[in-house]
Amino acid sequence: MVSRFWSKVKMTIHLHSYLNIVKQESPGAVESIKKTVNELIPKYIESFTHKDHVKGLLLGQVQSGKTGQMLGIIASAADADSAFSVFVLLTSDMTGLQQQTYKRALAAMDTFNVCDEHDEMRFREIGKRKPSLIVLKKNSKILKKWRNIIAKSGFLQSGRPIFIIDDEADAASLNTKVNKKEQSSINSHLNDIVNLATSSFYLQVTATPQSLFLQTRKSGWQPSFVYYFPPGKGYLGGDFFYSKPKPFTCRYTADDELSILLDTEDTPDGMKRAIETYLVTCAHDVLKERAKVCNFLVHPSVRKNDHELIRYKIEAYVQFIFRDIGAKTVRDLLEDAWKNLRKSRPDIVAFNEIIEFLGKKDLQISVYKLNSSPDSSSRRTFDTGFNIIVGGNSLGRGVTFKHLQTVYYCRSAKTPQADTFWQHCRMFGYDRDPMLMRVFIPEPLFFLFAEINASNEMLIKQIEHGNLKDIQIITDTKIKPTRKSVIDQEKYSLIVGGVDYFPPRPDQNDALNVDSILESYTEEGVHDISIDEAVAILESFASDPDNDWSISAYINALQSIKSHKDMQNIVKLIVRRNRNISRGTGTLLSPGDRELGKKYEDVSVITLYRLNGRKENGWDGRPFWIPNIKLPVGKVFHRVD
């Protein structure tokens, strides 16, 4: 094995070369990458034992520069420990995305042997002289093929570890058959690649970690550490697009626009306003910015037939605008769009210049479908031209759109998944003109995204506090955190806000301890206490794992509420003494106290009863306290045992 001393003597050959190349294209990204490697490498790579299989998580925002961070970590890992000679970078199972990542790595990692999926000979030959980076799709056939190639190469002999970076690790890597007591093929192949070496460093990467945090430790896919890198300067994300009150970027559309699009011959008003806004934006960009690209994303549903119908309607309306641009009705529509844009961009090109430019018909607008159908434009990059892109699932995870300025979103679901919907936010990123951004969306969907944004921010705050085992995922009652198939349902449970919870078998030995803690709290009225004070009280009570009563779960829920920007740091405390309640009645609260607790929907309520514990009531014959906990209405707290 290569000694640590030798790896340190080599210093930062790979990182230095990589950052010099990055500086030419994205100088603003260099400092962020340096910060990540300076914090992550010493803590996790330099201390790597070469005996363990380590899984960690690199967390970033949607389209915040994760690929640049991943390549920087690979370069730094090779510098820090030259025992790492085989690196595998996994992408989603999309040829266009895999090729995009491969070409970027090939251009930026000039000290590495960068291999495509078909570069077996290159890997075998050049891999003897340079560390190899293999960019693979998460595809069963590809993973099985490269498992065998790496095994036969002999590069992992003599105890050398393998380094794997799994982009969008929450998407396809997890075991989708966990509840059938089986293993899905992708998950199995990834385990096989990990087990080629006696030790491994596996870095999961995503912007939506809900499913990863809901993995059990036994599964082997729960991260042992998390590193969050904040987005760089100029990033437009959730707080920009989904703040409360509604930001200027948002324009509400009718709730029934999707049905009008699909079930009638009409084009709904919201879609028309979005097209008019996009045309004015394109004209401004060409006239003032000399732009050569401007994109418009339309995300209506997952059905491919829907995409074709909507593309036809968009093309027809664009043609109508250009054909009748001299008509007063068309000019008035475009002027309304221009006036709306001028509210946020006062220096927008004058309207008469916009009309004159559009009237020349020199602006070539192309409308594309982007999905898995044979006639889809899935291999295009949309880095040039003025494009309207219609699609569904293909508009998510990893797909980037340069200078995306207009978005029309009307996709709905009966019970939306937080991670899936958040990945639809392709408008997030760096190269947008913030003052000309517009998102056309129904009001209920806007508030859905606003809720997911608040939940994500709360999650990041918990991560920044550093206690990984106490991370709590909170969603609205109408939102699932992730898909059911990747969570072990035997270990998964919910705490639903607005429901009263109390231990079925309370600890009957806590009276003296809790008496002293609650001494200052009278039975009169309702006490306002902080979440920290509430946690200190609850820590006096014991858990009952046999009956699914975990006091730590309620404590974690309260602490996560404290991190939620839209929730109050207040707990209502109700204290009652000298109570005689029989065991096994199935209820705890008196009707009056139950109604009292219901008055407080937006905050948590803790009701503490001191029972006399008489034997004739089925207890042990001594006093004790029993807690009743009700978390805020409308929230669901997800946990895995």
List, for residues 192-204, the tens digit of each pLDDT value.
999 999 999 999 9
Which H, E and C letters describe 460-513, residue by residue? HHHHHHCCHHHCCEEEECCCECCCHHHCCCCCEEEEECCCCECCCCCCCCCHHH
Q: How confident is the model at residue 2 (pLDDT cuts 50, 70, 90)?
A: very low
Predicted local confidence at residue 525, as pLDDT? 87
Q: What is the pLDDT of residues 289-341, one digit of tens each?
A: 898 999 999 998 888 888 999 999 999 999 999 999 999 999 999 999 999 99
- Taking 90 as the threshold, does the pLDDT of residue 150 lie above it? yes
Residue 349 gets which letter from DSSP? Answer: P
The span from the first CA to the last CA of the chain, in angstroms, equals 39
Beta strands in 53-156 (DSSP E): 53-59, 86-91, 113-115, 132-137
* Strands of 86-91's sheet in order across: 113-115, 132-137, 86-91, 162-167, 200-206, 53-59, 225-228
β-pairing, 200-206 vs 162-167, is parallel
| Dihedral (CA of 28, 30, 33, 37) sign | negative
* Cα–Cα distance for residue pair 437/143, rounded to 1 Å: 40
* Cα–Cα distance for residue pair 581/333, rounded to 1 Å: 70
Q: Specify which residues 629 forms β-bridges with.
A: 501, 606
Residue found under tokens 């404290």: 562
Question: Which one has a higher pLDDT value, 523 or 145?
Answer: 145
- Taking 80 as the threshold, does the pLDDT of residue 526 lie above it? yes
Q: How confident is the model at residue 11 (pLDDT cuts 50, 70, 90)?
A: low
Mean pLDDT of the chain: 91
* Cα–Cα distance for residue pair 626/518, rounded to 1 Å: 13
DSSP reduced 3-state for 200: strand
The answer to whether the beta carbons of residues 415 and 479 sit under 8 Å apart is: yes
Q: What is the pLDDT of residues 160-173, one digit of tens each?
A: 999 999 999 998 99
| Dihedral (CA of 201, 206, 207, 208) sign | negative
* Cα–Cα distance for residue pair 269/125, rounded to 1 Å: 60
Q: Whole-structure pTM over 0.85, yes or no?
A: yes
Q: What is the pLDDT of residues 180-226, one digit of tens each?
A: 999 999 999 999 999 999 999 999 999 999 999 999 999 999 999 99
Task: Work out the angle at residue 37's Cα, subtended by the Cα atoms of residues 34 and 42, and round it to the nearest 5 degrees.
Answer: 135
Predicted local confidence at residue 372, as pLDDT? 67
The answer to whether the beta carbons of residues 11 and 79 sit under 8 Å apart is: yes
| Run of H or E residues at 198 | none
